[in-house]
Amino acid sequence: MISLLEFRQYRRRELLHQYKSWRYVKENRSYFLYLIFDSETCVYVGETSNIFWRVVKHKDKCSDGAAIYLQEYQDKEEVLKLEKHYIRILKPKFNSRYCQPHQLELFEA
């Protein structure tokens, strides 16, 4: 199992309240890696530059009771690599990106 200690943990409603000022942010130099867990099972891994709108759009994947683990980064390339890594390890049921057999070469090196 992976360690989520370096991530901040929120419930959906709590995250939306915490980041509601981001509704109006158009350009951001921060990038977020987020993992959505429902009943202790990872259902989605993603990255975004605006966590507020991304969680709003994930209403079907993220119930109010779901746990969202969130980490902020300054380097987009690092976030993209970590996203692929966590998708490969956790195999979330809603991720189709990087999970298809013909996409496994993305995990080489």
pLDDT along the chain (109 residues), means of 10: 86 92 79 93 93 88 87 94 92 77 49
What is the pLDDT at residue 107?
Answer: 46
- Domain ranges for the chain: 8-107
What is the pLDDT at residue 101?
Answer: 58
Distance, CA of 104 to CA of 97 (rounded, Å): 10
CATH code, 8-107: 3.40.1440.10
Distance, CA of 39 to CA of 44 (rounded, Å): 13
What is the pLDDT at residue 96?
Answer: 76
Distance, CA of 30 to CA of 57 (rounded, Å): 19
